[in-house]
Structure 1
Amino acid sequence: MEKRGSRRARVERERRATVRSASAAEDNGRGFAFWARRAMLWGGGLALLGALFLGLAVAFAARSLPTFQQLKATQNAQTIVVRARDGSEIAELGPNYGEWISYSRIPRVMKDAMVAVEDRRFYMHPGVDPLGLARAVYVAVSGDERISATSTITQQLARNVFLNSNRSLDRKLREGVLALALEVKFTKEEILELYLNKVYFGGGAYGIDSAARTFFSHPATRLSVGEAAIIAGMVKAPSNYSPTADIDAAVGRAEVVLSLMREQGYLSAAAASVDPSTVRLKAQKAQTSARYFTDWALPQLELLLPETTEPIEVWTTIDPGMQRAATTAIARHSPRGAQGALVSLDRDGAVLALVGGTDYVKTNYNRATNALRQPGSAWKLFVYLAALEAGYKPNDRVVDTPVTIDGWSPRNSSGGHAGAIDLRTAFAYSINTVAAQLGNEVGFGTVASMAKRFGITTPISTNPSMVLGSNEVRLIDMTRAFAAVSNRGASVEPYGILKVTSTQGEVLYSHERANSIQLVPDYVAAGITDLLQTAVNTGTGRAAQIGRPVAGKTGTTSSNKDGYFVGFSSGITTGVWMGRDDNRVIPGLQGGTAPARAFSAYMRYAVAKRPVEQFDTELKLPDWQLEPDAEAMQGDPQDYYFIDEDGNLVERPSPGAGPGDAGGLEGADGGRDQPPFPVEGEQPTVTRGSRAPEPEQAASDDFLDEATGGDPPPR
């Protein structure tokens, strides 16, 4: 009996447990259904609200869109005509729109090719392709780079006409709204007509007619199957698939377009088998070297003009004849496998010619304004400027002898030493040991300050070897420095734009000559000109002679990797650099060979119509260099100029200014003629061109009168 009762109780417990489980499952089912229904209601409500907002946004955007005729008349980029100083056109940059081709006149094959490659569901979607959108979301979430998310033709039109190319979520949302609005306001035919007449194909060509004329020399109404495939293939990446940039890439992309057209039923297999490589391309006019100049000058318009998209004409300083002469000189004299660059400045800083390489089509890298290369001994300009400022004169005796400075022992290119020579000879023959001694005497920091004062904008190391041109510089900066010497020591600011006008002739900008600053006294400029002239007459720069006075300096780096020559004559200063982009050795390259010969070839043309000018090399020395007494050696305050620790000129302190008011003057460390009295306190360092505080008189005037037998000198 007990066993039977126990069994019955166990069965009853199991039955109750089963009932409770079923009840719980039923309760859970009801709870899940409740929350599912609630989620569906909330989701549906949010979706309905989102659709309402989207509909309102699309409706508002559609009402705000311009009309079809207004969009036809809208240009999206600026046309710039660049003119030389004589008014001749040297370049036309910016968009070329060609003729507007109506939908009915656009060849069917062109429309089919563009739809096949850019938007195969163009005729089915409302402006935004849901499948494409889902693909874009998947890409954003998964980061799978194998799947590409592309915009529809309508989205591309919205972006090209109304937006920029920033890849941001906000821009993408606005692009989608505008695409939907375009589909609401315009027909598919109108949208495709706008797109084909406005899309960019590279080479400045906007629209299919401009592309057809640019690449095939005929209007878009005559496009063949192969030509249409090439044009349609360029939209994805104009710079990569342009036939003028890479014909093989353009043909390969065109074959992809033809394959897609066959797959989508736009072409038969026979028609799609056309070979795009047989398409006859328009012969391209060679790019002139003046493009190196426009690449340097035109970006300056952002600073000179307010923002505008109106067509403009830019009148520049380039002389067409000099530019051709410069191009020829560089092409003929650059060693095989080497590049060359040239910058030529007028006495006011106007760029007369600028060549950044031997061939702009092969390489548009501008070596005249961007390349950083060592100038070699051309850098000695700043060493000798600092020495002349410190008191040296061209006739002063120096000694060419072995020297070691902080473990560095420079050698002369000849391998020998000349002994006692004058400063003029040491410079003319580019004696390295003398330059090292001068740099050490005046201070390497002083040489660096001099270089910055004359316009060197690159960082300058003050290691002892810097006196031989180990610092990298830009050719245009070195040319500017020599131009300042030609300008009797006054600063020169290179410029390339004379004026900017609208197409109606309204002057939007006119160049105003920058204020010139005296960088060194006249006698220093005269002294360095004396040295530079001797370097061309009898020294390392003899190949630069042109039959009239020339002053200049050669430069050659170690292992003949760089050759430099910079010089001036009759108010024109020209700098020439030659070397390899990979910095490899060029046997036989020296500043006095190919660069000097290129300088001579160019300058003979450049100065031909200018009067012969003799250089002013007469040293009109100040009193502090003529009078022996310490008092006179301080000079006239009106002759002083002051520089800060970076080598920049600062204003002369007013009378009575306290210590340090001169802007942290930097002087010639170890100069030849330091003040013969101790300087107490935080006083500026004294150099040629700066003034020390006047010492107290050690004896009374009566005592001096009695001791000397006369009146004391006036103070």
Structure 2
Amino acid sequence: MDKNLLQRTVSIVSWLFFSIAIGGIVGTCCIGALYLALAKQLPSLSEITSIRPCEGTVIYSSNGERLGEVYAVRRKWVPISKIPIELQHATIAIEDRRFYTHPGVDPRSVVRAIVVNLRKWSLAQGGSTITQQLARSFFLTQRKTLERKLKEMILAIRIERAFSKQEILEMYLNQVCYGHGTYGVEAAAQFYFGKHVWELNLPQCALLAALPRRPSYYSPYERPGACKARRDLVLDKMVECGFITKEEAEKAKRTPITEGLVEHRSVDEDQMKAHYFVNHTIKELVQHFGSDMVYKGGLRVYT
């Protein structure tokens, strides 16, 4: 090879590697600067550790009879120990099958979402993990923007540093919307099936797990066909994850989607006894504790 040509080739390759190195350094610095800028706008670790879904206030008589309830959102907190393992597994299978192995963000889901979004030239798919959904629910808006997605990812990693996987799953299952004004699995179980969440069977657990993606669209009251298809998909995903057998899934699929459902009603139709007394008590509570504490603080008041 000509000596001059060899020198030019070496020079070009050297400059190429140099440019790549400089580009990598500049890119890393830009990403670092972006991270710091976004991180400053987000809650600190101490603020994250104090998060808890809001609950309504329940008013009881002196002998323990439930008189009424007021709330900003209808939610009843239950510990993870009272949530059926079938419901936990159903949620993980349909929402975030690598929940127990990722650090808050699932790289495979992110890559898949990027490919889909590039094809559709939109933010059609987010690839959010359960932890990211929790971060969005507590601290961010529902707007589909790149900035919100980046903040969501940063927050998810922070949440994973602050809580165990079971604590995150507990918060998620008590926070997420299940449609018709119900939030959390206990309120949803009582609304749809008229019983506590720990009393649900496999088909009912799969039905609840089917709802958070699009609660209104998959409502068993409004679109039973769509709800059944989604519930059956949940069961199939549970089989893929090894949570249940194929036989258990097929048996659950044969359960009519309306089986066990209570009569469709508005959450506002929850009967309140002694209206005048309860309303007077609510006014007194608001004066002493403020409306936020009364409607979101989960008070239990015995009169």
Question: So what's the TM-score if we normalise by structure 2?
Answer: 0.75
Q: Which residue of 2 aligns with 1:214?
A: 191
1:38 to 18, 21, 33: 18
- Residue 136 (1) aligns with residue 113 (2): yes
- For 1:540-579, list aligned pairs within 5 A: none
Q: Which residue of 1 aligns with 2:260?
A: 280
CA 1:55–1:272: 2 relative to 1, 3 Å: farther
Give the letter aligned to residue 209 of structure 1.
E
Give the letter aligned to residue 243 of structure 2.
Y
CA 1:224–1:133: 2 relative to 1, 3 Å: same
- Structure 1 window deviating more from structure 2 (42-51 vs 206-215): it is 42-51
Name the SS of the counterpart of 1:226 in structure 2. helix
- Residue 65 (1) aligns with residue 47 (2): yes
Q: For 2:29 and 2:109, how far apart are their aligned partners in 1? A: 24
**Structure 1 unaligned spans of 5+:** 1-17, 80-90, 291-314, 316-500, 509-715
1:103 to 60, 76, 80: 80
- For 1:91-240, list aligned pairs within 5 A: 94-98=72-76, 100-143=77-120, 148-240=125-217
Tell me if the contact between 2:75 and 2:183 (Cα under 8 Å) persists in the aligned partners. Answer: yes
Q: For 2:267 and 2:38, how far apart are their aligned partners in 1? A: 48
CA 1:137–1:503: 2 relative to 1, 3 Å: farther
Q: For 1:505 and 1:33, how far apart are their aligned partners in 2? A: 73
- Residue 271 (1) aligns with residue 248 (2): yes
Q: Which residue of 2 aligns with 1:442?
A: none
1:62 is displaced (CA, Å) by 4.7
Q: For 1:270 and 1:37, how far apart are their aligned partners in 2? A: 57
Q: Deviations over 1:601-656 (max 9, x none)?
A: xxxxxxxxxxxxxxxxxxxxxxxxxxxxxxxxxxxxxxxxxxxxxxxxxxxxxxxx
Q: For 1:249 and 1:92, how far apart are their aligned partners in 2? A: 32
Name the SS of the counterpart of 1:157 in structure 2. helix
Q: Deviations over 1:513-541 (max 9, x none)?
A: xxxxxxxxxxxxxxxxxxxxxxxxxxxxx
Give the letter aligned to residue 75 of structure 1.
C
Name the SS of the counterpart of 1:201 in structure 2. strand
Tell me if the contact between 1:58 and 1:181 (Cα under 8 Å) persists in the aligned partners. Answer: no
Q: Deviations over 1:575-604 (max 9, x none)?
A: xxxxxxxxxxxxxxxxxxxxxxxxxxxxxx
Tell me if the contact between 1:196 and 1:207 (Cα under 8 Å) persists in the aligned partners. Answer: yes
Q: Which has the larger radius of gyration?
A: 1
- Structure 1 window deviating more from structure 2 (211-220 vs 135-144): it is 135-144
Tell me if the contact between 1:208 and 1:231 (Cα under 8 Å) persists in the aligned partners. Answer: yes
Question: So what's the TM-score if we normalise by structure 1?
Answer: 0.34
Q: For 1:178 and 1:287, how far apart are their aligned partners in 2? A: 32
1:119 is displaced (CA, Å) by 0.8
- For 1:281-680, list aligned pairs within 5 A: 281-285=261-265, 504=285, 506=287
1:39 is displaced (CA, Å) by 2.9
What is the count of residue pairs matched by the alignment? 263
Give the letter aligned to residue 141 of structure 1.
L
Q: Which residue of 1 aligns with 2:4?
A: 23
Give the letter aligned to residue 96 of structure 1.
R
Q: Deviations over 1:346-386 (max 9, x none)?
A: xxxxxxxxxxxxxxxxxxxxxxxxxxxxxxxxxxxxxxxxx
Give the letter aligned to residue 23 of structure 1.
N
CA 1:223–1:168: 2 relative to 1, 3 Å: same
Give the letter aligned to residue 285 of structure 2.
Q
Q: For 2:126 and 2:12, how far apart are their aligned partners in 1? A: 37
Tell me if the contact between 2:180 and 2:267 (Cα under 8 Å) persists in the aligned partners. Answer: no
Q: For 1:264 and 1:142, how far apart are their aligned partners in 2? A: 28
Name the SS of the counterpart of 1:30 in structure 2. helix
Give the letter aligned to residue 223 of structure 1.
L
Name the SS of the counterpart of 1:238 in structure 2. coil
RMSD: 3.5
Give the letter aligned to residue 51 of structure 2.
L
1:47 is displaced (CA, Å) by 5.3
Q: For 2:30 and 2:144, how far apart are their aligned partners in 1? A: 23
1:503 is displaced (CA, Å) by 6.6
1:93 is displaced (CA, Å) by 7.8
Give the letter aligned to residue 193 of structure 1.
E
Tell me if the contact between 1:128 and 1:155 (Cα under 8 Å) persists in the aligned partners. Answer: yes
1:51 is displaced (CA, Å) by 6.6
Name the SS of the counterpart of 2:48 in structure 1. coil
CA 1:223–1:46: 2 relative to 1, 3 Å: farther
Name the SS of the counterpart of 2:74 in structure 1. coil
1:50 is displaced (CA, Å) by 5.6
Tell me if the contact between 2:104 and 2:129 (Cα under 8 Å) persists in the aligned partners. Answer: yes
Name the SS of the counterpart of 2:216 in structure 1. helix
CA 1:255–1:58: 2 relative to 1, 3 Å: same
1:272 is displaced (CA, Å) by 1.0
Q: For 1:143 and 1:29, how far apart are their aligned partners in 2? A: 41
CA 1:503–1:138: 2 relative to 1, 3 Å: farther
Tell me if the contact between 1:197 and 1:207 (Cα under 8 Å) persists in the aligned partners. Answer: yes
Name the SS of the counterpart of 1:240 in structure 2. coil
1:136 is displaced (CA, Å) by 2.8
Name the SS of the counterpart of 1:131 in structure 2. helix
Q: For 1:287 and 1:37, how far apart are their aligned partners in 2? A: 64
Tell me if the contact between 2:39 and 2:151 (Cα under 8 Å) persists in the aligned partners. Answer: no
Q: Which has the higher helix share?
A: 2
Q: For 1:505 and 1:64, how far apart are their aligned partners in 2? A: 28
CA 1:270–1:143: 2 relative to 1, 3 Å: same
Q: For 2:267 and 2:102, how far apart are their aligned partners in 1? A: 44
1:505 is displaced (CA, Å) by 5.4
- Residue 254 (1) aligns with residue 234 (2): no
